[in-house]
Amino acid sequence: MAANKPETWPAGLVLEYDVLSRTEEAATIGFIEASSLEYPSYDPGNSRSSSSFGWKYDFSTDSFRKCPEIPPEMTPLCERAAGMIGVAASDIAECLFNRYDPGAVIQPHFDKDVWEHVVGVSLGSVATMRFVRPSEAGGGQCDIRLPPRSMYVLKGDARYEWMHSLLPVTDTRWSITLRTLSELGKAQKSEQLVA
């Protein structure tokens, strides 16, 4: 069911509960665990590991890198996410798996502008996502509880005006992040393919 949206939430943030059953959640966690998770070199000391499918943006080269195809097992979630953001499931360009061991965090950031829609699925333990709007954009802070089996969407102000981060998790958490390309991202990817 859809979550009631408190007035204090950033505009453009959508949160939906129970997009998976507990059985589906357990199977999805097992699939993530079998996906060759690696600790990213750009985030040393943080106990978060990940694996990417589709197109990954490589920060070390400021370019896209082709990864294995998005697994067909992710099709139902991709279709659910696509329905929430009003695109075709085939428009989802990246599927990112993350595992967060206790204490793992995500530092405050804006997603790279090569991406347009950002959709996240939470699995395992509860997490808190913190939104902070820079003072030049009006300031503000808002903490959102992400229960397991929930799906969030970042668009509008929540995507472009508020940085988001993940506070330290207390128990193991897994997540799936799905992203679509922005017009800038489509152009950059096309340039790479013809280069």
What pLDDT shows up at residue 145?
A: 94
Determine the 3-state secondary structure of 103 from DSSP: coil
Shortest CA distance to 123 belongs to which of 105, 143, 97? 97
CA–CA distance, 91 with 181 (Å, rounded to integer): 8
What pLDDT shows up at residue 3?
A: 47
The token pair that represents 51 in the structure block: 């694996």
CA–CA distance, 182 with 10 (Å, rounded to integer): 21
* Per-domain residue ranges of the chain: 13-194
**Is the CA virtual torsion 11, 15, 16, 19 positive or negative?**
positive
Tens of each residue's pLDDT in the chain, 195 residues: 344 566 779 999 999 999 999 999 999 999 999 998 987 766 656 788 999 999 999 888 888 999 999 999 999 999 999 999 999 999 999 999 999 999 999 899 999 999 999 999 999 999 999 999 988 878 889 999 999 999 999 999 999 999 999 999 999 999 999 999 999 999 998 888 876
Residue linked to tokens 């979630």: 77
Yes or no: is domain 13-194 CATH 2.60.40.3880? no
pTM of the model: 0.91
CA–CA distance, 148 with 80 (Å, rounded to integer): 16
DSSP string, 37-70: -B--TTSTT--EEEEEEEEEEETTTTEEEE-SPP
